[in-house]
Structures are given as structure tokens and as C-alpha cells.
Amino acid sequence: MIWEVFRQERKGQPFVHGGSFHAPDKEFADAYAREFYARRQESVALWVVPRDAIHAIEEFPDEFDLKYRRVDGYSIKARLKEARARAGTAQRADAETDALSPSERG
């Protein structure tokens, strides 16, 4: 029986997959996990899971190109420029993005 180990290096950090090993039951799995993944205090916690219990999902089709819910779905540059031009703040906005502030430029 194969067991997968997920280890947490420090409190508060995510559990990361560490590796796997053979063990006939939970008691052996407990002992092996401690020996293989924490004997030098390199982990603060372990999740030991029978491989069969893991449901892996690997295909994530995006047929409808649902970009509206991601940051790469928004390109505001052109629209922002237009809005600034309309409000008459285009120059000021450009100046603000310069490295020097107006006072520094005198």
C-alpha cells in the first residue's frame, strides 16, 4: 500500500507534497512518515494519506474563455487614457507617473 506525505515546514505555511512510501497500515505509515520526513525537525506537521484516497483532477478546459474573472481579462490602459483626456487630467496624470515630482522639477 502506497502512502503520500504532505509536510508543513513551519506553522502557518501550506502543506507541500514531500514524497511517498510503502506501509501495510496506519501504524507503520505513522512510524515511516516520522522517520522519513521529520526526524531532523524539518517538518512541524505531516499529512499521511493513502494514495488511493487522493482524487486527482488534471484537466481544466476553458472552452468559453472566461477571462472576465481573471486579471488578464482586463486591459484598462486605452480606456483610462480616454477617460483622462475627457476629464482634462491627461497631462497631470502623465506628470504623476514621471520619476520626478513637480516640486523636484522646480
Partner 1 sequence: MEAREQEFLDYVQSGGLVETDDWMPDEYRKRLIKFIEMHGNSELMGVLPERDWILRAPTLQRKLALTAKIQDEVGHCQLIYRVVEDLGKPRSACLDDLIAGKSKFHNVFHYPTKSWGDVGVIAWLVDAAAIISQKALLKCSYAPYARVMKKVCWEESFHILHGRDTVLAMVTGTAEQFELVQEALLRWWEPLMHFHGTPIPAAEDPMVIWRIKSQGNEEARQQFLDGYVPQILELGLEIPDPKLRKNEDGVWEYTEPDWDELVSVVTGHGPASQERLDFRRLSRAETDWVSKVILAEAA
With beta carbons less than 8 A apart as the criterion, state whether 34 and 42 touch. no
In whole angstroms, the minimum distance from the beta carbon of 24 to partner 1 comes to 3
x-or-dash string of contact with partner 1, 15-34, rule CB under 8 A: --xxxxxx-xx--x------
Query: Which of 36, 38, 49, 84 is in the footprint of partner 1 by CB under 8 A?
Result: 36
The region that residue 3 occupies, defined by phi over 0 for left and psi between -120 and 50 for alpha, beta otherwise, is beta
With beta carbons less than 8 A apart as the criterion, state whether 5 and 47 touch. yes
Does 67 sit near partner 1 (CB under 8 A)? Answer: no
In whole angstroms, the minimum distance from the beta carbon of 49 to partner 1 comes to 15
